[in-house]
Chains A and B, each alone.
Chain A
Amino acid sequence: MCVVVVVLSMLVFGWLRSLPGGPVSAMLGERQTPERRAALEAALGLDQPLPVQYAKFMERAVHGNFGVSTKVLPGEDALDVFLSRLPATIELSFLAMLLAIALGIPLGYIAARRQGSYVDTGAVIFSLVGVAVPVFFTAFLLKYSFAVEWNLLPVSGRQSTGVDATRVTGMFVLDGILTREWDASWDALKHLILPSVALATIPFAVIFRITRASVLDVLDEDYVRTAEAKGLTSRVIRGRHVLRNAMLPVTTTIGLQVGGLLAGAVLTESVFSFRGVGDALATAFREKDYPVLQVLILAAAVIYVLVNLLVDIAYAVIDPRIRTR
């Protein structure tokens, strides 16, 4: 796992250094001359060979020092930029995954049980649309209809202006609950609905389809017939014999989708001006804020690896065949 992170850090480092423009051009802008360029490169250590630069970068990174943000929050520590944006994205991703799982698994089960029915066909088409339509389009569509046209939900941001809320964790809904400021919590939740629905579309569609396929497979298994032959109630057959086995591939899928959420968050957060990690990543990219970019990309990689580790652990918990091997 550590190997994965180190290799990723090398890739990120090398890739950012190879981009045209680079930090020096970005900092000097139109005022650059060859002399100024050389001076700044020397000052920043960019004239040294890449491996040396990488070693220095890693040395500082291990101490939590990734440099100072140039554009996203000028003057702020890059790591702090990431940490300050993280709670918003966790809150958004959590709600989005919750929606995707809470809808995807039951719908997948029902569709499989009634294979070929209108419910099944409808759900399959709906999930196809969910995967096919780009997230930013879904986001714009939701924003336009629910926020602009019908004025049901807030257009953008995380909290209405004028709401005075105490901050504890940085997750606004949770903060409101912890401090019993129910209005603030409710207001933050309303801001979360549209972005999380937009972000949930793809994970929902994927989870739905995998659940459906997996349940169809399991329903054909001999042990489900054995369970029927025992005269067990349909509730026990559904939970203990069908879903528990069908959830194995679904768990992997959920893990992969959590890892992929950040990509969706970049688009969703940008559309809804939701100040999270995805929005910071988009800004940092546009404005060539290299220290922030490095932190964010590395963090995304670490989160992805961690989630996969969690999936492996979860797999061992639900599948005894892996545990005893």
Chain B
Amino acid sequence: MTQQTHRPSQFGGGSAEPLLSVRDLRVTFQRHGEEAFHAVDGVSFDVRPGQTVGLVGESGCGKSVTSLAIMGLLPDRGNHVEGTAVFDGEDLLTLSRSAMRDRRGSDIAMIFQDPLSSLNPVVTIGRQVTEVMERHQGLSRKEATPKAADLLERVGIPDPKARLANYPHQLSGGMRQRALIAMALACNPRLLIADEPTTALDVTIQAQILALLKELVVDTGTALVMITHDLGVVAGLCDEVNVLYGGKVVERGGRHGLFKNPRHPYTVGLLNSIPRLDAVRGEKLSPVPGSVADNLPWTSACAFAPRCSNAIAPCTQETPQWDGDEVVGFRCFNPMGGPR
């Protein structure tokens, strides 16, 4: 537990080879007789060992679909995935089903949003933890049980031995999320993807779970991809942030740079819509106007243009290109703070 792995203090992580390198990921949903919908439209990002990377955006921006595509958990039919997601030298998107099954739960694990519905209601917590170790580490149920108790203890569940025999409905919301985290950590994954792990929890529990994740990431050196709509979560946890809009990364940066000097008007809009304790009383929150339903197609415009306070003529006429590199950049014709 004392092992302190190298963690880049600033974004980027220096020269370390990426653990996961996603390039030009596209996920297209095609329902019979309907127009194709590009849920993820050319997303690229890197995750280096030990790094925490945020994927931020509002509902429908493609952040969850991105994670499900990387995990190979999208439904069998009705979608089309393109691009590459290289993990440890292998493209996860071209791996066979069974090879991907071997990675999931051992090398790459995932935590989901709603801990109650994400746990099987008729199987004990203990069994749901041990089954991962039985599958990937070849342990018997008997051998895995004490390890499961250790895991529950490590994620802060009191009286872990007794909890093994409990069913999900007997635990509180926070305990359930801790149990889900224990399952994800069972085989010491090198990459952990957390899809809105705190959204279904109340605020005090949210803070506990985030603190736990932070601690675990430091202790184990696991890289973490944090998917959230909450910039507050990002500020507290992530080394690097990718802001997604309409299936594309519209801005990327280290958390310090991004919060201090946001360039894309959408990032600014997200930051302004967070309630602040130090705001003047009675001051109105300024949400981003409109909804994702107003989006323009990326092929001939900036999707965000109809909702953008900074929009100029080219925004509705051509696709804004990425201005920057793998570490920092944005996609905008008229960024805040003037051109780069």
The residues of A with any CB-CB pair to B shorter than 8 Å are 221-223, 225-233, 236, 240-241, 244-245, 248, 318-321, 324
Contacts and interface: CB of A to CB of B under 8 A. Distances in A.
Give the 3 A-B CB pairs with smallest separation, nearest first. A231-B104, A231-B105, A230-B105
A236 B114 CA distance: 22
A239 to B, nearest CB: 11
Contacts of A232: 101, 105, 131-132, 135
Contact of B180 (A226, A228, A248, A321): A226
A233 B167 CA distance: 22
Contacts of A248: 122
Interface of B: 71, 73, 100-106, 109-110, 112, 114, 117-124, 127, 131-132, 135-136, 167, 169-170, 180, 183
A324 B122 CA distance: 12
A89 B170 CA distance: 44
Contacts of A320: 121-122, 124, 167, 169
A230 B122 contact: no
Contacts of A324: 167, 169-170
13 contacts: A222-B114, A225-B112, A226-B183, A228-B104, A229-B110, A231-B106, A236-B131, A236-B135, A240-B123, A244-B122, A244-B123, A245-B120, A320-B167
Contacts of A222: 112, 114, 117-118
B119 A226 contact: yes
Contacts of B167: 320-321, 324
A61 to B, nearest CB: 42
Contacts of B114: 222
Contacts of A321: 121-122, 167, 169
A34 B105 CA distance: 87
The listed residue with most B CB atoms (<10 A of its CB), out of A227, A231, A245, is A231
A146 to B, nearest CB: 41
B contacts with A: majority SS: mixed
Contacts of A223: 117-121
B43 to A, nearest CB: 20
Nearest to A227: B120
Given A223-B117, A236-B131, A245 B122 contact: yes
Contacts of A225: 73, 112, 118
B112 A226 contact: yes
Contacts of B106: 231
The listed residue with most B CB atoms (<10 A of its CB), out of A233, A245, A320, is A320
A177 B53 CA distance: 68
Contacts of B104: 228-231
A246 to B, nearest CB: 10
Given A236-B135, A321-B167, A324-B167, A231 B120 contact: no
A324 B114 CA distance: 22
B105 A229 contact: yes
The listed residue with most A CB atoms (<10 A of its CB), out of B71, B100, B120, is B120
A245 B136 CA distance: 24
B148 to A, nearest CB: 13
The listed residue with most A CB atoms (<10 A of its CB), out of B103, B110, B114, is B110
Given A241-B120, A321-B122, 9 more contacts: A229-B105, A230-B131, A231-B135, A232-B131, A233-B101, A241-B123, A244-B120, A319-B121, A324-B169
A229 B71 contact: yes
B173 to A, nearest CB: 14
Contacts of B117: 221-223
A256 B104 CA distance: 41
A229 B183 CA distance: 10
A240 B130 CA distance: 13
A324 B183 CA distance: 24
B123 A233 contact: no
A223 B119 CA distance: 5
A318 B122 contact: yes
Nearest to B77: A116
Contacts of B103: 231
A225 B195 CA distance: 13
Nearest to A226: B118
Contacts of A226: 112, 118-120, 180, 183
B195 to A, nearest CB: 10
B119 A231 contact: no
A222 to B, nearest CB: 4
The listed residue with most B CB atoms (<10 A of its CB), out of A221, A228, A230, A233, is A230
Given A222-B114, A229-B71, A231-B103, A319 B122 contact: yes
B8 to A, nearest CB: 27
The listed residue with most B CB atoms (<10 A of its CB), out of A223, A227, A248, is A223
B65 to A, nearest CB: 13
Contacts of B132: 230-232
Contacts of A233: 101, 135
Nearest to B32: A116
Contacts of B105: 229-232
Contacts of A229: 71, 73, 104-105, 109-110, 112
Nearest to A224: B120
A222 B64 CA distance: 14
Contacts of B100: 231
Contacts of A245: 120-122
A199 to B, nearest CB: 31
B78 to A, nearest CB: 11
B58 to A, nearest CB: 21
B135 A240 contact: no
